[in-house]
Structure 1
Amino acid sequence: MRTFVAIEISENDIKKSIKDFQNKLQINAKPINSDQLHFTLQFLGEISEEQVQKVIESLQTIKFSEFTINLKGIGAFPKPKFPRVIWIGTDEEGGKNLIELAKKVENVLKPLGLVSDKPFKPHITIFRIKKKIGDMTEELNKQKFMDFGMQKISRIMLKKSELTSDGPIYSNLEEVIAVK
């Protein structure tokens, strides 16, 4: 089963401001549905049912305290001149906390042979771009400091991803809640 560890965006005000931004930015790209907005802390790929149980047990050992992030700024991967993904970032402090959390996830999953293929960069994908759309540098620079709101981070989710012709369908397999 195709899986990943994520933090969902749950604040309705943030979802609405992202949706408004997606509607305003007129580009030939597929916007991510607001119910699927998340930070991917670690992509695990295809794992067996048996591995899922081990991942759940490992994730349950993670201890973290609730924190708040500010979703702000727009960017593109691999770069604005040739974007494949358009994303929203975070404030510096929130980003550091997310990186720390991603490291905790990686550390508990490493013994299972599950390691990240690239360093975690705090971002939420808001568009996937299939066709070449040209240089987005100027448009993204205008939005560089856009603020989408504050989100409390209090849970990590192990998610299953089923790929369909209409895009991925995510379902929750397990959640880890912050310690009080």
Structure 2
Amino acid sequence: MRLFIGVDLPVHLKEALVEFQSELRARGVSGFFKSQDNFHITLEFLGEIDPNKVITLSEIISQVARDCKPFDLNITGLGAFPSFKRPHTLWTAVNGDLDELHKVRDYLHVQLKDKGFRVEERQFKPHITLASRPNCNNAAMQDALAKKIGDFLVSEIVLFESKAIRGKRVYTDVFKARLET
């Protein structure tokens, strides 16, 4: 199973992100735009994992959720990895209670590592991917850089499975745990 742990977004925010993608297309941006169902914030990408490890992952996620409280985030603006001059990914920024988001992510990271899971060692940069392999050479992007998309309360952590179905990436919930404290 190809798995990752993340934060799902409420429907109203996913719809606002689709509208933002439409605005970007109208400005001349092209690329492979993510579908509404696939918008999320990745906390930890796990890759291919033996299905028998899902129980251990669920226990780790439950423990982290029990020890963390719900918090507010907001989605604003536009960014690119590695840069707008040579983008391979267009994303929108995650702001708000980043201390709490980092606490959840760091706690997950340590617990996963302690249980023998391979985890990413690069710096955590919370974002929501809008498009991959974008072409935005001639696009007027200035207004989009600071566009406010919306706010939401993070109240759960989700273990997602990523599958390729008929040539498209589909993310499905495997396990969810509510933040409790």
How high is the TM-score relative to the length of structure 2?
Answer: 0.88
**How far apart, in 2, do the equivalents of 1:88 and 1:139 lie?**
16
Whether the 8 Å contact between 1:82 and 1:134 is mirrored in structure 2 is no
Cα offsets for 1:98-145 (capped at 9, x unmatched): 22211111011111222224221110001112xx72547x74443121
Q: CA deviation at 1:164?
A: 3.6
**How far apart, in 1, do the equivalents of 2:166 and 2:123 lie?**
29
Name the counterpart of 1:97. 100
Amino acid of the structure 2 residue aligned with 1:16: E
| Residues 54 and 11 (structure 1), Cα distance of their counterparts in 2 relative to 1, 3 Å cut | same
Contiguous gaps of at least 5 residues in structure 2? none
Moved over 3 A (4+): 138-141
2:30 match: secondary structure: coil
Amino acid of the structure 2 residue aligned with 1:9: L
Q: CA deviation at 1:46?
A: 0.4
Name the counterpart of 2:24. 25
Q: CA deviation at 1:165?
A: 4.7
Identify the range of structure 1 (157-166 vs 147-156) with the bigger mean alpha-carbon deviation: 157-166
1:148 match: secondary structure: strand
| Residues 83 and 106 (structure 1), Cα distance of their counterparts in 2 relative to 1, 3 Å cut | same
Cα offsets for 1:9-46 (capped at 9, x unmatched): 1141x222211111121222121111211000000000
1:116 match: secondary structure: coil
Identify the range of structure 1 (115-124 vs 73-82) with the bigger mean alpha-carbon deviation: 115-124
Q: CA deviation at 1:174?
A: 0.7
**RMSD over equivalenced CA pairs, Å:** 1.8
Aligned match for 1:85, one of 67, 86, 89? 89
Percent sequence identity over aligned pairs: 26
Whether the 8 Å contact between 2:30 and 2:136 is mirrored in structure 1 is no
**How far apart, in 2, do the equivalents of 1:50 and 1:179 lie?**
26
Aligned match for 1:35, one of 21, 34, 37? 37
1:60 match: secondary structure: helix
**How far apart, in 1, do the equivalents of 2:145 and 2:52 lie?**
43
Whether the 8 Å contact between 2:156 and 2:177 is mirrored in structure 1 is yes
Question: Which structure shows the bigger proportion of residues in strand conformation?
Answer: 2
How high is the TM-score relative to the length of structure 1?
Answer: 0.89
1:19 match: secondary structure: helix
Name the counterpart of 1:4. 4
Q: CA deviation at 1:169?
A: 1.1
**How far apart, in 1, do the equivalents of 2:78 and 2:51 lie?**
37
Cα offsets for 1:41-88 (capped at 9, x unmatched): 000000101222211111111121111111112101111111111111
Aligned pairs for 1:92-171 (under 5 A) are 93-114=96-117, 115-129=119-133, 133=135, 135=137, 139-171=140-172
Whether the 8 Å contact between 1:82 and 1:135 is mirrored in structure 2 is no
> How many residues are paired up?
175
